[in-house]
Chains A and B, each alone.
Chain A
Amino acid sequence: MVVRQYQEELKYLEKINEYCWRIKKGFQPNMNVEGVFYVNHTLERLMFEELRNACRPGAVGGFLPGMKQIANVAALPGIVWRSIGLPDVHSGYGFAIGNMAAFDMDDPKSIVSPGGVGFDINCGVRLLRTNLFESDVLPIKEQLAQSMFDHIPVGVGSKGIIPMNARDLEEALEMGMDWSLREGYIWAEDKEHCEEYGRMLNADPSKVSMRAKKRGLPQLGTLGAGNHYAEIQVVDEIYDKWAACKMGIEEKGQICVMIHSGSRGFGHQVATDALVQMEKAMKRDNIETNDRQLACAHIKSQEGQDYLKAMAAAANFAWVNRSSMTFLTRQAFAKQFNSSPDDLDMHVIYDVSHNIAKIEEHMVDGKQKTLLVHRKGSTRAFPPHHPLIPVDYQLTGQPVLIGGTMGTCSYVLTGTEQGMKETFGSTCHGAGRALSRAKSRRNLDYKQVLEKLEELGISIRVASPKLVMEEAPESYKNVTDVVNTCHAAGISKKCIKLRPIAVIKG
């Protein structure tokens, strides 16, 4: 990293408009394209503070500041258009979380990087609707939360209650949600309302290590730990009545269930295995990057292809995982309300992935190009009439599910034409960390965090209460700031706001 004074660094940054900054070439060495990031006033302050802290003499350790990471990604071979930071951007392994970067598939030098996808491959959010209202749920809220907690195992080292053997896993890795459909865990309509129809077709389980499969097998149908959660939420605000209607959300007070989870230990192992391979490939093919954490390989190389196939298998794992939890949630609700999930109208509104790399067609400088789009902590947000979104959302644009932090609200946005042009149909994914996990543990007390949730009337079931301060709202950027910035910048459009009444987490 180039060491410069903070004032010097600022010369490379330029405000394009009220919600968007440009990172000029030279901010980091060898930048092929410019970087941009979207912020409002509050988020802007956080970003610049982070940069200033990193410029202080003697600042060592930890990740590079988000802006530097965006610029380092802009220096990767084969990148097109811009390296884009979404409003919730914060430092991660190599790539910042909340970073979108696209690479030209026709350029032999283009790369694929596991750091650009993240360790929790196909981490994502699924939203189920119901025909229940807050008044139906409040009297039995505690029982319902307990019932969900009983059905969905949570926490580090949890094991699922859907019996699976090694052969089932192999099939699930290849088939994704088609496996869940075949076995009867989900409904045909669930597949329709899922990104990629719940199955990456290029998945190849033979490219996945035994170790990953061993870790993954018992974990299917479990929520996991960290920022993952299942929440019972209430529709708090409807901004776009017509689009909400298309999603089956008619009125304020309607009950929804949000599931935020990923590929558990399986995806983590796939990413770890790939990083080892990529380091070798980089040496062999002389790929140079600004940061060792940006390990990558040419897309067309054996390592690149193997990673894409293994990543697809991990993506399928995550979809099966969320599908299994959908099944368990429906069971929990059906039991509590003595009714069938069908009668409760528990349809999947949508299912998004916010840690994934996909091959997509986009317009670059007026020309249609095939790109490998990395979205790490960034959600796909395709506009109306896009062929890859479900027929029910052809007129509204793709629903974008933004999970908030524990105890704060969540949002549903829709994709826009402007977002398609500016960010290749990408938007934010959540609140985005403001404090590191360690810092949260030092500064906050878990009892206070739990009490505060109780005051807000939110039931909570948690496997390890002593870790909840890591996920406390204070540890995160304000999700409303993040969403408002996306809306104001025009890269997606606000549709529904949801507020939690019960949370279960690891």
Chain B
Amino acid sequence: MFERKLKALGYMEWDKVNGNNTQHFRKVILWLEDQKIRHYKIEDRKQLRNITSPEWPNVFEKYCNDVKCPITKNEAGQLEWFIGYAIWLEFGDDCKKYQQIVGSKAKVKNEVKIPNIKSTNPLDNLDFDNDAFTTGVNSIAKLLKVPKHSDHLVTLQACSKLVCNKLNADAIKQSNNVVSVKGKPLTAMTIVPSFNMGDIMLDNAAKGLSLLYIQDLRNLQTKINETIVAVQNITANPKTDTKLGKVGK
């Protein structure tokens, strides 16, 4: 029943323990207290040691209370708890050492796990560093007029962003409706003021970042406004009463 655990704890007669035998039970409990749990001082274990005494069950009950064993009736259950408790203490004493230990089967399992996943998504099986793939990404970028980055995966990310934001169903619908937008397009780089760090490239990078930040902020503000309007639909009730009005002197 508890063979493996008792063996691990180093109990000499681990293979002979019978949980239903009172003497066996008492012996194991005493051994656990003596060797592992050590809740009482040695001199206080006297009564517990006297395993043949008729008083033993009372002593054991007190012991259970002292170590806060939650199981009161079933002896086998109690034994299981005490063994588990002893293991928990043993592990706590030297957890660093035990943490590294991985069961031989688990080890094998882990090793097998990774290569064994069969992906249903064909994209996952692509070789992203393949030359063919790189060329493909670059030709998509060229089609979409996305500037090339030295890392083709970054280029791919940019392409995906553009497709998601500008080529989704809603955006395409809108661009068909709005025939011409009033006003002249301005180059972003000429209108952003107040960066002068002495390096044009650095200034441009700062401008680009600030434009992206402003776009994020605008989206956030729009969401806030939408939320306010939603709440207003419930709370708003503007009133005027011209009878109250009075023009002063």
Contact = CB atoms under 8 A, between A and B. Distances in A.
A159 B245 contact: yes
Contacts of B245: 153, 158-161
A385 B236 contact: no
Given A181-B232, A192-B225, A155 B214 contact: no
Contacts, number: 100
A184 B238 contact: yes
B130 interface: no
Contacts of B114: none
Contacts of A463: 247-249
Interface string A175-218: 00000011111001101100000000000000000000000001
Interface SS, A side: loop
B193 interface: yes
A162 B239 contact: yes
A186 B237 CA distance: 11
Contacts of A464: 248-249
B178 interface: no
- Which of B214, B226, B245, B248 counts the most A-chain CB atoms under 10 A from its CB? B248
Interface string B151-180: 000000000000000000000000000000
A368 B206 CA distance: 22
B109 interface: no
Interface in A138-170: 153-163
B143 interface: no
- Which of A192, A218, A328 counts the most B-chain CB atoms under 10 A from its CB? A192
- Which of B193, B232, B241, B242 counts the most A-chain CB atoms under 10 A from its CB? B193
Contacts of B231: 182
Contacts of A184: 232, 235-238
Contacts of B232: 181-182, 184, 188
B218 A391 contact: yes
Contacts of B240: 161-163, 328, 331
Given A188-B228, A384-B193, A417-B194, A153 B238 contact: no
A183 B191 contact: no
Contact of B183 (A158, A182, A245, A385): A245
Chain A residues touching B, range:
35 or more
B191 A188 contact: no
Contacts of B242: 161
A191 B225 CA distance: 9
A185 B238 contact: yes
Interface string A310-343: 0000000000000000011001000000000000
Contact of A155 (B218, B235, B247): B247
Top 9 closest A-B pairs, CB basis? A184-B236, A155-B248, A158-B248, A159-B246, A188-B228, A188-B225, A161-B245, A157-B248, A391-B217
Interface of A: 153-163, 181-185, 188-189, 191-192, 218, 222, 225, 242, 245, 327-328, 331, 383-385, 390-392, 394-395, 397, 417, 463-464, 506
Given A163-B244, A189-B225, 15 more contacts: A153-B245, A153-B246, A155-B248, A161-B240, A162-B241, A181-B232, A183-B237, A183-B238, A184-B235, A184-B236, A184-B237, A327-B238, A463-B247, A463-B249, A464-B249
21 contacts: A156-B249, A157-B248, A159-B246, A161-B240, A161-B242, A161-B244, A162-B244, A188-B226, A188-B228, A188-B229, A189-B225, A191-B228, A328-B240, A383-B194, A384-B192, A390-B221, A391-B214, A395-B192, A395-B193, A395-B214, A506-B248
